[in-house]
Each structure stands twice: as C-alpha cells, then as structure tokens.
C-alpha cells in the first residue's frame, strides 16, 4: 500500500511538472544558450502554423507516426526474436547489483565537472557565490564517486537542486538530477563504495565496530525503512527522464523555435538531411516528446532508452561545441533504464502480465 501511495505521488508530481513545462517555458528558454549565442525571437503560433501548413512536412510527420504505431503493433502481435529479447533482458538484469555504482558515476562525474567549471548543475546557471558553487559541486561529486555517506549526500544534493530551481527556472534543463539523486538516496552506495567497506567493518567483530557510533543506531534502521521502496527506482528513473524529454521537446524545440532554428542554421543540418528547417525543429521536438511520453507511461521502456542513447550520441558527435560533460548524467540514467526496464506501474508490466496469463510469454519476454 505504501509503495502504491509513493508511486501515485510520483505520478502526480510528474503531471504537475509536465504542466509546469508549458507555463514556465517562456522564462526558462531565454536562458538556454548551450550551443547558440542568441537568435531572433520567433512567434510560436506563427512558426507552428507555417510548419504544419506545408504538405510535405505533414506527410513526413504522418508517415513517421504511422510507422511507429505500425511497428509497435506488429511487434506485440508477432513477437519476433523472442529468445534474443529474453537473453538481452536476462543479461541486463544480471547487472542490477552494479546499478548504484552506475548511478553514482552518472551523477558524481558531471557534478565534479560543474564544480571545477564554476556552474550550478547546468552550464547555463552561474551563481553570485562562485566559491560556494565550486566547493558544492566538487564536494558532493567526489563523495558520490567515493560512495561515502551516499544517501545523505544524495539527499543534500537533491535539496540544493530543488532550492535552486525555485529561484532559477533554467535549472529545469538539468532536471535529470532529480531522479538520479533520488534513486541514489533509495539504493545507497552499493559496491564498490566506501559505504560498503565501512558497513562490512562495522558489522564484523572488529576494532572499528566497537567505536562506530552510527552503523547500528542510524544506518541499519534507515536501510530497513527505505528497503521496501527500492523496487520503485525504475519508476523514479523513467518518470524523471520522461519529464526531461517532454521539456526538451516542448520547451526547447516547439515552444522555442528561434533558438532551435538557430541550431539548425549554425550546423547546416539542412545540408545533412535536405528538408525545411521547420521540419527539423518540429520533427526533433515531437521525437523527444514521444520518447518522453513512452518513458512516463513505461511503454517499450528499454527501446525508448535505446533511442534516447542514440539521440545523445548523435548530439555528442554532431554538435562539436555542445557541453558533453553536462550530458553524462543523461547517458548514465538511460543506461540504468536499459538495466532496470520499466519496473512496476507501467504499460510494459501490464503487457508482461497479460502475456504470462495467456501463456504467450517465452521466458520472460515483455515489450520493454
């Protein structure tokens, strides 16, 4: 019951945040200067009307939508390469014990980079207290990398991000830190980590166990309290990443066409794929929204995570002055979703249960 209530709160928060994307886009998008020094403002409604009044653009978008829907339907009906999918899922699941380490690296590395570079979570956010910003990023980042006081450090980092977001909406560009830090707070340091080493020393009959004042009094009871919620880590990750992708598609593309068109022009993307710049912007925005919605509902989660990884890789090699370090967290979190799958309260889980009940499941295969 507590897990369902927790999941319901996560879902409600995701809905509120997704709505907030539309309400805050105007203020946030003015700060987004990752790869463009600036652009002329473009009226959103006029841009969308122009783009969607082009028959070729409409045909391409419609063909893409039909292809995605047809592909998903055919996969669910035919279930091709069942054994391959089963082996892939089994292999990914075997990495679950390394998930805390992966998450610590995914969040710790970019935080250390942010500290040394002097920005607060996102390259677009510079504070008025640079010394504190550097010490915060380096300190929290290194502690996460070492895995020392992991849950406490992750909670402190999450609180700092949320406080910063209240004053600077541009931090929404780095929203992936919320699911990442929350997942770390739930899972702890895992192994290898300093926390794991300390816990082994404190649990055994050692000299250290006689002087450690925290392990049995604080750490063990806390771990027992959060243990029932660790199964919800996949839900936290996919909902958080889903919100991030919806924001990127809506806030950074569809609702901010001036900046998006500037990126298309700067890198001559119409020379790579000879279509109208408007189609580039709308197509990229809708693709990110589609991936985000798939993650929010947990539909074909591993497939959506793989598409996300492909999008990030394309950006990495296609935009040479994009701040790569700032995207390490996204790479890590979608990699974590490849390991966990959709988890509970998802379309994938319902499809898997339905396949098991009908006897069509070939051990064990699901849509994610």
d(CA 239, CA 10): 8
In the predicted model, residues of the chain with pLDDT beneath 50 are: 2-3, 6-7, 10, 13-14, 17-33, 37, 365-367
pLDDT value of residue 140: 96
pLDDT value of residue 321: 64
User: Residue 95 CB: number of other CB atoms within 10 A?
Assistant: 15
Length of the chain in residues, anyone?
A: 368
CB-based contact 271:207 (threshold 8 Å): no
Cα 179 off chain centre by: 7
DSSP letters of 64-130?
Answer: HHHHHHHHHHHHHHH-TTHHHHHHHHHHHHTTGGGHHHHHHHHHHHHHHHHHHHT-SSSTT---S-H
pLDDT value of residue 367: 47
pLDDT value of residue 241: 93
Among candidate residues 223, 196, 229, 236, the one with its CA nearest the CA of residue 98: 196
pLDDT value of residue 10: 45
pLDDT value of residue 166: 92
268: left (phi over 0), alpha (psi -120 to 50) or beta: left
- End-to-end Cα distance, the chain: 25
pLDDT value of residue 42: 67
pLDDT value of residue 256: 82
Cα 108 off chain centre by: 15
Question: Helix-strand-coil percent breakdown of the chain, rounded to 5?
Answer: 75, 0, 25
230: left (phi over 0), alpha (psi -120 to 50) or beta: alpha
DSSP letters of 271-304?
Answer: HHS-S-HHHHHHHHHHHHHHHHHHHHHTSSHHHH
d(CA 220, CA 309): 36
Span 204-230, pLDDT tens digits: 888 888 888 888 888 888 888 988 899
Span 270-315, pLDDT tens digits: 777 788 888 888 888 999 999 999 999 999 999 999 988 888 877 7
């Amino acid at each position: 019951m507590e897990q369902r209530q927790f999941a319901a709160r996560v879902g409600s928060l995701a809905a509120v945040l997704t709505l907030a994307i539309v309400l805050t886009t105007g203020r946030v998008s003015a700060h987004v200067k990752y790869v463009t020094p600036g652009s002329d403002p473009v009226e959103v409604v006029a841009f969308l009307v122009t783009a969607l009044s082009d028959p070729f653009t409409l045909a391409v978008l419609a063909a893409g939508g039909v292809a995605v829907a047809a592909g998903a339907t055919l996969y669910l009906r035919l279930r091709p390469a069942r054994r391959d999918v089963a082996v892939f899922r089994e292999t990914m699941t075997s990495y679950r014990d390394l998930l805390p380490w992966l998450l610590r690296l995914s969040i710790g590395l970019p935080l250390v980079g942010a500290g040394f570079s002097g920005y607060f979570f996102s390259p677009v956010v510079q504070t008025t207290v640079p010394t504190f910003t550097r010490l915060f990023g380096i300190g929290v980042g290194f502690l996460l990398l070492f895995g020392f006081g992991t849950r406490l450090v992750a909670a402190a980092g999450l609180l700092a991000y949320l406080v910063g977001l209240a004053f600077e909406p541009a931090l929404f560009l780095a929203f992936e830190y919320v699911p990442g830090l929350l997942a770390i707070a739930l899972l702890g340091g895992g192994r290898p980590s300093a926390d794991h080493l300390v816990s082994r020393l404190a649990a055994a009959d050692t000299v250290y166990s006689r002087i450690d004042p925290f392990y049995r009094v604080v750490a063990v009871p806390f771990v027992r309290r959060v243990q029932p919620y660790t199964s919800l880590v996949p839900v936290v990750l996919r909902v958080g990443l889903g919100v991030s992708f919806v924001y990127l598609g809506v806030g950074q593309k569809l609702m901010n066409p001036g900046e998006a068109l500037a990126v298309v022009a700067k890198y001559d993307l119409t020379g790579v794929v000879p279509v109208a710049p408007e189609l580039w912007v709308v197509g990229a925005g809708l693709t990110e929204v589609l991936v985000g919605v798939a993650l929010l509902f947990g539909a074909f989660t591993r497939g959506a995570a793989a598409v996300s990884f492909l999008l990030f890789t394309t950006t990495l090699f296609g935009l040479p002055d994009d701040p790569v370090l700032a995207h390490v967290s996204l790479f890590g979190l979608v990699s974590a979703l490849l390991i966990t799958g959709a988890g509970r309260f998802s379309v994938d889980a319902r499809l898997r249960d339905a396949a098991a009940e009908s006897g069509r499941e070939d051990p064990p295969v699901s849509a994610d």
